[in-house]
Amino acid sequence: MKDTGGTEDEPRTFGSTYTAAVNGADKDSYLDKGIRCIVNCSNNSKTSDIVSFRYFDSDHYILGDVDGDKAVTSIDTTFIQRDIVRMKLPAYYDRVAADVDGNSSVSAYDVTWIQRDLVNMSTPYAIGDVFKRPD
């Protein structure tokens, strides 16, 4: 596989996009390594394709992305609202990403900040930005 990302000169960073030549059979195994295909994802051709990937790892998170789909959407706010009322949550629910205002608790304020961000209103928090997970 020809890969333009992850060299010593150009290390992969969380959330960065890079391209690679991947054939159809290879694509699935490639995606298992914490790499998410964002372009030409459904291609099952036998020949190699140049595809764009976005690189993710488990040491980082996106502020507000509690379901881990790498985007901040209204689904994330729904999960946080469930958390607030102590409803059952899936294992992938990320409470670190839910605490948008960083006050160590998950509350309706966190939901409101995300909702503001979703409609492009200003917030004092870097919702959608990548952060390193605390140790």
Contacts with Ca ion by CB under 5 A lie at 65, 67, 69, 76, 99, 101, 103, 110
Radius of gyration (C-alpha) of the chain in whole angstroms = 17
Q: Which is nearer to Ca ion, 27 or 56 (CB)?
A: 56
Q: Which is nearer to Ca ion, 43 or 107 (CB)?
A: 107
CA–CA dist 59, 61 (Å, integer): 7
Distance of closest approach, residue 101 Cβ to Ca ion, in angstroms: 4
Q: Which is nearer to Ca ion, 59 or 69 (CB)?
A: 69
Distance of closest approach, residue 61 Cβ to Ca ion, in angstroms: 11
Residue 76: name the closest of 59, 86, 63, 87 by CA: 63
